[in-house]
């Protein structure tokens, strides 16, 4: 009798794991017999895969990252413009202006801010520098008419500060190990579907379930070879799998594995 073989889903990397369970779900929903007779198991797998998809996306990139990069580029451009403006006044033949430029230029050197430095470090240094420019060095800033630079630089730096704080809050709201948990839920739902289909094939006869069984077994062979780096042969008609076990995932009966999932 044909039956679905076994595979160690736990050993797949995150991307391959999601693709595998998604493919099985799509095929199950398209198979009228499986969808009807194993409705509860298909529904459970669908819910688990949806949650895994959500957790996988969250783990890969915060939606705020692009906004932070844009704000950072804006403040870097403003800071660069401020530095060039101060340098441009250094050799002006007007003593008051040249002196003010000299003071601000030394202030710039003292902070030694590099736009390529770590994001939060740059934010903190600019915060202090701007505080100086609005207080201690306000007369020099006004002498050189650089207030618009200071005002806009402060606004850009605050945008970066706010966005990075929001990203931290966002990450803090994510349950530690959420992806690991949702992957396990998908594994459990997949195993229950496999057990149900194998049981139905045994009790009702395999004829109506052969298309689904053959598809899953073909996927198993493919993933064992291409993802887990295992030697695998097509499941035989009577044995059900290449390791002598039947039913769902036994988790660890296979040799070889893909890189550990980044959980």
pLDDT surpasses 90 at 104: yes
Residues in the chain: 263
For 7-16, 55-64, 157-166, 174-183, which range has the lowest pLDDT when averaged over its residues?
55-64
| % of the chain beyond a pLDDT of 70 | 82
Element (H, E) at 3: none
pLDDT digits (tens, 9 = 90+) for 214-255: 999 999 999 999 898 888 676 544 434 433 333 333 333 333
pLDDT surpasses 80 at 201: yes
pLDDT confidence bin for 59, thresholds 50/70/90: low
Q: Tell me the C-alpha distance between 16 and 137, whole Å.
A: 57
The answer to whether 70 touches 160, Cβ cutoff 8 Å, is no
- What is the rounded average pLDDT for all residues in the chain? 85
Query: Higher pLDDT residue, 234 or 165?
Result: 165
- Which pLDDT value is given to residue 231? 80
67-93: average pLDDT: 93
- Which pLDDT value is given to residue 27? 97
191-220: average pLDDT: 96
Q: Is 84 exposed, middle or buried (0-12, 13-18, 19+ CB in 10 A)?
A: exposed
pLDDT confidence bin for 186, thresholds 50/70/90: very high
- Which pLDDT value is given to residue 238? 41
Q: Tell me the C-alpha distance between 117 and 138, whole Å.
A: 26
- Which pLDDT value is given to residue 132? 96
Q: Is the pTM value of this prediction over 0.75? A: no
Query: Higher pLDDT residue, 46 or 163?
Result: 46
Reduced to 3 states (helix: H, G, I; strand: E, B; else coil), residue 92 is coil
60-75: average pLDDT: 77
- Which pLDDT value is given to residue 7? 95
pLDDT confidence bin for 152, thresholds 50/70/90: very high
The answer to whether 127 touches 113, Cβ cutoff 8 Å, is no
pLDDT surpasses 60 at 185: yes
- Which pLDDT value is given to residue 124? 92
Query: Higher pLDDT residue, 169 or 134?
Result: 134
Query: Could you tell me the CA-to-CA distances from 249 to 37, 50, 133, 150 in Å, in that order?
Result: 21, 20, 65, 62
CA 115 to chain centre: 25
162-188: average pLDDT: 77
- Which pLDDT value is given to residue 177? 75
pLDDT surpasses 50 at 257: no
| % of the chain beyond a pLDDT of 90 | 64
Q: Tell me the C-alpha distance between 141 and 161, whole Å.
A: 24
């Amino acid at each position: 009798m044909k039956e679905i073989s076994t595979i160690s889903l736990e050993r797949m990397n995150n991307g391959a794991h999601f693709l595998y369970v998604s493919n099985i779900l799509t095929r199950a929903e398209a198979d009228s017999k499986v969808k009807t007779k194993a409705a509860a198991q298909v529904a459970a797998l669908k819910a688990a895969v949806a949650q895994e998809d959500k957790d996988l996306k969250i783990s890969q990139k915060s939606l705020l990252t692009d906004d932070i990069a844009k704000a950072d580029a804006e403040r870097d451009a403003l800071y660069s413009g401020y530095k060039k403006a101060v340098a441009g006044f250094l050799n002006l033949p007007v003593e008051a202006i040249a002196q003010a430029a000299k003071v601000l230029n030394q202030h710039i050197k003292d902070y030694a801010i590099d736009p390529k430095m770590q994001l939060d470090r740059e934010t903190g240094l600019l915060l202090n520098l701007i505080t100086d420019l609005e207080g201690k060095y306000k007369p020099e800033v006004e002498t050189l008419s650089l207030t618009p630079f200071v005002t806009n630089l402060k606004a850009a730096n605050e945008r970066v500060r706010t966005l990075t704080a929001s990203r931290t809050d966002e990450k803090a709201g994510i349950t530690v190990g959420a992806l690991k948990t949702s992957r396990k839920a998908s594994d459990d739902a997949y195993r229950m579907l496999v057990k149900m289909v194998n049981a139905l094939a045994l009790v009702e006869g395999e004829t109506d379930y052969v298309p689904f069984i053959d598809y899953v077994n073909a996927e198993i062979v493919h993933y064992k070879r291409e993802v887990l780096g295992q030697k695998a042969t097509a499941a035989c008609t009577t044995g059900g799998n290449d390791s002598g076990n039947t039913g769902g995932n036994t988790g660890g009966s296979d040799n070889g594995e893909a890189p550990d999932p980044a959980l």
